[in-house]
Homo-oligomer: A and B are copies of this chain.
Amino acid sequence: MISLAVDAMGGDFAPRNIVEGVGLALDAAPGLCNIILVGDRRQMADQLVRLGKSGHPNIELVHAEQVVEMNEAPAAAVRGKPKSSIAIAVDLVKQGAAQAVFSAGHTGAAVASAVLKMRPLPGVERPAIATVFPNRKGRFLLLDAGASVDCRSQHLAQFAAMGEVYSRHILGIANPRIGLLNIGEEPSKGNEMVKEAHELLTRLGRQSLNFVGNVEGSNMFDDLCDVLVCDGFVGNIALKCSEGTSRLVSDLLRHFLKRTTIRKLGALLSRNAYRDIKDVADHSEYGGAPLLGVNGVCIIGHGSSCPNAVANAIRVGRESVEREISQHIQDRMVELNLCQSRKPTKDERAREERQPV
């Protein structure tokens, strides 16, 4: 049976929400997987008692004496805390005791641990975090949302292939449309790296990749593509600017709706509309963001994950193992001839040599 290692100490409401989410996941799909909860044994056991899940046949506890705090530098946390819950959870995958790992804790530490210990998939040069966004008609995948911040065009092409596989096998899109996040629709738009990526994706489009061209930030919610690729710096900016904007709009709305009694009455009558919008934006159904390109399944949860979000992340982790996402990514890389690493140019190499590991 599939085993998932779960970092019980990661997240704003850990271990409470994490253990509760594990319970929900096992109730929803009984007997489909084992969960190895990693963290403070006492705290985890207390939570299981609270939930009436002590001695559950599919839950195992592994003690971890350290926790990575949110303000630690990722690399320092990985080196300095080998006995943290996230480190031990990733170790379980590395050793083959688990096939997938989930953490809602320090994203940087989870990514660094996974890359260092699980290693990249053969042929994959950079891992990518794939985040699910809502759009006008359904949802789309944006990657990289922050794992790899200095990218070459070749990396973006690999992100496209990895995102396509995930979209097809986990989100159920038969022939995912791939877009390139850019500052204009025309192929001539963008910085040097992105223009090169457009060329490369256009070439892959002549094979079997369904490349639909550039997509601007202003149109990213218009259902123009199922997978939107960009480097991890730009992706994280896009993700957080959207968060910031929607928070601003909802705060302003709340503020202005309170100004008069009439407006307050109006808001009361239409309150279900606001709830509906919240549901659209609710990420908990999407079940966390996979770190694609590592040798094994790694799912990253939002720090504020509710139990339902944790349960969905665990489901997505299990499905990623069952549906052999890693194998499909490797196959697709070979098919699209993306494994033979293009030799980096002199300036690319110089830039990368300056990067800290």
Shortest distance between the CB of A194 and any CB in chain B (Å)? 7
Q: Which residue of B lies closest to A108 (CB)?
A: B184
- A260–B269 Cα gap in the complex (Å)? 10
- A236–B190 Cα gap in the complex (Å)? 10
Say yes or no: is A217 at the interface (Cβ < 8 Å to chain B).
Answer: yes
Please determine whether A237 and B240 come into contact, CB atoms closer than 8 angstroms.
no
Q: Which residue of B lies closest to A270 (CB)?
A: B266
Please determine whether B183 and A240 come into contact, CB atoms closer than 8 angstroms.
yes
- A188–B108 Cα gap in the complex (Å)? 12
Q: How many copies does the complex hold?
A: 2
Shortest distance between the CB of A191 and any CB in chain B (Å)? 4
Stretch in A22-30, A243-251, A299-307 with 4+ CB within 8 Å of B: A243-251
Say yes or no: is A216 at the interface (Cβ < 8 Å to chain B).
Answer: yes
Contacts of A346 in B (CB 8 A): 346-347, 350
Please determine whether A280 and B252 come into contact, CB atoms closer than 8 angstroms.
yes
Size of interface on A: residues with Cβ below 8 Å to B: 73
Cβ proximity bits A148-185 to B, threshold 8 Å, 1 near / 0 not: 01100000000000000000000000000000010100
Contacts of A349 in B (CB 8 A): 347
Q: Which residue of B lies closest to A222 (CB)?
A: B244
Q: Which of B183, B240, B269, B273 contacts A217 (CB 8 A)?
A: B240
Q: Which of B220, B236, B244 contacts A220 (CB 8 A)?
A: B244
Q: Which of B181, B237, B266 contacts A266 (CB 8 A)?
A: B266
Q: Which of B194, B221, B252 contacts A233 (CB 8 A)?
A: B194
Cβ proximity bits A221-240 to B, threshold 8 Å, 1 near / 0 not: 11000000011111011111
Say yes or no: is A336 at the interface (Cβ < 8 Å to chain B).
Answer: no
Say yes or no: is A263 at the interface (Cβ < 8 Å to chain B).
Answer: yes
- A89–B240 Cα gap in the complex (Å)? 39
Please determine whether B262 and A277 come into contact, CB atoms closer than 8 angstroms.
no
Given contacts A183-B236, A234-B237, 16 further A-B contacts (CB under 8 A): A150-B192, A217-B244, A218-B240, A218-B241, A220-B244, A221-B248, A222-B244, A242-B242, A242-B245, A249-B250, A256-B273, A257-B273, A264-B270, A265-B266, A266-B269, A266-B271
Among A194, A242, A354, the most chain B Cβ lie within 10 Å of the Cβ of A242
Shortest distance between the CB of A356 and any CB in chain B (Å)? 9
Give 14 CB contacts A-B under 8 Å. A190-B233, A194-B233, A217-B237, A218-B247, A237-B238, A238-B238, A238-B241, A245-B249, A256-B277, A260-B272, A262-B269, A265-B266, A265-B270, A266-B268
